[in-house]
């Protein structure tokens, strides 16, 4: 999913006015905590709609946001959760690319891995949120360069997040060989083919985090549990998200299996929930937490995000999560998230 919002409600964050260029930015970190690699978008999010607008209609909503989307969602979430985050992606020489670049730098993301392609414009995705879900429309063309061409050969992240497609292997293997734990993400297959060869790109990945529909479609299984088992033969950590029904996770090395209950919230905008979950899970891997604690952390971060309008750019910090738990003692059991209050963990 590549949708991100830029603010809460109508309080849209203004562009950060800097002189940064898309290919010259903050000092490069050769060993960031997290590196995200993939397609970048500009996203505009319209939440709280009464329904899908019909031809000839115009509908206003105060729940509007904008910001860098696609793989950028995970970079910003990682930075907000305390990791040193870097991004590797293609940008254009258009004003929207500059706008997204400035916003990423403002969020504390190392943007030295962005590569400018002259004459190409950043794609734009609009998210229309209604009936508890969202519909997407994207305009533009995919990035004209392969991911392997833009990946810095010297960067050695502790954790990497890569969008799975038929070019993934050329990125995953080099990162894994440098010691990174690679988390694989994917998007919806609009063709309905669900080509299983896509899963070959998981070779070298540490974790794969599809939702239940994606997992069952790719593995040709009938239940999320069966899909989890099938995926465990491909990656050390397989995770299947179930939306409002929680999360399944299986550590193939130890055989540990967890089913995490959802954090009950009133969902306002589900845009970007999957991206927030994956990024939070990746950041949690940097800590000495159990598998259940890591999945709980990611589930909480995603739940708090969907309770706000605007998508992934409203993702919380770790301090925000603790405050949210204090404000919702009846919603989230204190014992479940006690590890978050330990400053040494």
CA dihedral 224, 230, 231, 237 (to 10 degrees): 90
N-term to C-term CA, the chain:
30
Nearest of 187, 212, 202 to residue 71 by alpha carbon:
187
- For residue 343, what pLDDT band results from cuts at 50, 70 and 90? confident
Residue 9: predicted pLDDT: 33
In this model, does residue 1 exceed pLDDT 90?
no
Helix/strand/coil for 73: helix
Q: How far apart are CA 27 and CA 25, in angstroms?
A: 7
Could you report the per-residue pLDDT of 229-258, keeping only the tens digit for each? 999 999 999 999 998 899 999 999 999 999
For residues 315-332, give the mean pLDDT: 87
| Residue 278 DSSP symbol | H
pLDDT at position 24 is: 39
Alpha-carbon radius of gyration of the chain: 19
Give me the long-range contacts of 214-217 (CB less than 8 A, separation at least 24).
Answer: 214/186, 214/188, 214/189, 215/240, 217/189
- Domains within the chain, CATH numbers bracketed: 7-340 (3.40.1190.20)
Integer Cα distance of 180 and 23 in angstroms: 24
Q: What is the DSSP letter of 243?
A: G
DSSP per-residue codes, 144-213: SS-HHHHS-TT---SEEEEE-STTTHHHHHHHHHTT-EEEEE----TTS---GGGGGGGTT-SEE--BHH
CA separation (Å) from 105 to 79, 179, 286, 314?
A: 10, 26, 22, 16
- Pairing verdict, β 181-185 and 159-163: parallel
> Which pLDDT score is estimated for 4?
37
pLDDT, position 131: 79
User: What is the Cα–Cα distance from 210 to 227, expressed in whole angstroms?
Assistant: 10
Backbone angles phi, psi at 78, to 5 degrees: -60, -45
- 8 A C-beta contact, residue 44 and residue 128: no
Query: Does the pLDDT at position 271 exceed 70?
Result: yes
Two tokens, residue 238: 């397989």
Confidence of residue 213 (pLDDT cuts 50, 70, 90): very high
The tokens 């319209």 sit on which residue? 46
Percentage with pLDDT > 70 across the chain: 87
Q: What H or E segment, with its residue span, contains residue 138?
A: strand 133-139
pTM for the full predicted model? 0.85
On the question of pLDDT at 21 being above 80, the answer is: no
Interval 275-282 mean pLDDT: 95
Tens of pLDDT along 125-160? Answer: 998 888 777 788 899 998 888 888 888 989 999 999
């Amino acid at each position: 999913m590549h949708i991100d919002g830029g603010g809460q409600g109508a309080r849209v964050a203004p562009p950060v006015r800097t002189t940064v260029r898309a290919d010259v930015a903050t000092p490069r970190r050769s060993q960031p905590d997290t590196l995200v690699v993939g397609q970048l978008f500009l996203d505009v999010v319209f939440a709280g709609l009464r329904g899908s607008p019909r031809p000839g209609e115009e509908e206003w909503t105060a729940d509007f946001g904008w910001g860098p989307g696609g793989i950028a969602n995970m970079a910003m979430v990682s930075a907000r959760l305390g990791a040193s985050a870097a991004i590797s992606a293609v940008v254009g020489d258009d004003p929207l690319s500059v706008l997204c670049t400035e916003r990423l730098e403002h969020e504390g993301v190392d943007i030295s891995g962005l590569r400018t392609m002259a004459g190409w414009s950043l794609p734009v995705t609009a998210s229309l949120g209604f009936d508890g879900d969202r519909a997407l429309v994207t305009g533009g063309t995919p990035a004209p360069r392969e991911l392997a061409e833009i990946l810095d050969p010297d960067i050695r992240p502790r954790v990497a997040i890569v969008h799975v497609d038929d070019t993934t292997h050329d990125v995953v293997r080099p990162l894994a060989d440098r010691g990174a734990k690679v988390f694989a993400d994917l998007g919806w297959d609009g063709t309905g083919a669900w080509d299983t060869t896509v899963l070959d790109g998981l070779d070298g990945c540490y974790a794969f985090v599809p939702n239940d529909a994606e997992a069952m479609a790719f593995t040709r299984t009938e239940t999320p549990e069966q899909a989890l088992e099938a995926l465990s033969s491909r990656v050390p950590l397989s995770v299947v998200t179930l939306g409002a029904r929680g999360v399944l996770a299986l550590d193939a090395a130890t055989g540990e299996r967890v089913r995490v209950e959802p954090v009950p919230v009133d969902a306002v905008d589900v845009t970007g929930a999957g991206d927030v979950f994956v990024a939070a899970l990746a950041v949690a891997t940097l800590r000495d937490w159990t598998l259940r604690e890591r999945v709980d952390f990611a589930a909480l971060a995603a739940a708090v995000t969907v309770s706000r309008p605007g998508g992934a750019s409203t993702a919380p910090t770790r301090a925000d999560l603790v405050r949210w738990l204090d404000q919702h003692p009846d919603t989230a059991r204190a014992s479940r998230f006690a590890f978050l209050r330990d400053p040494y963990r």
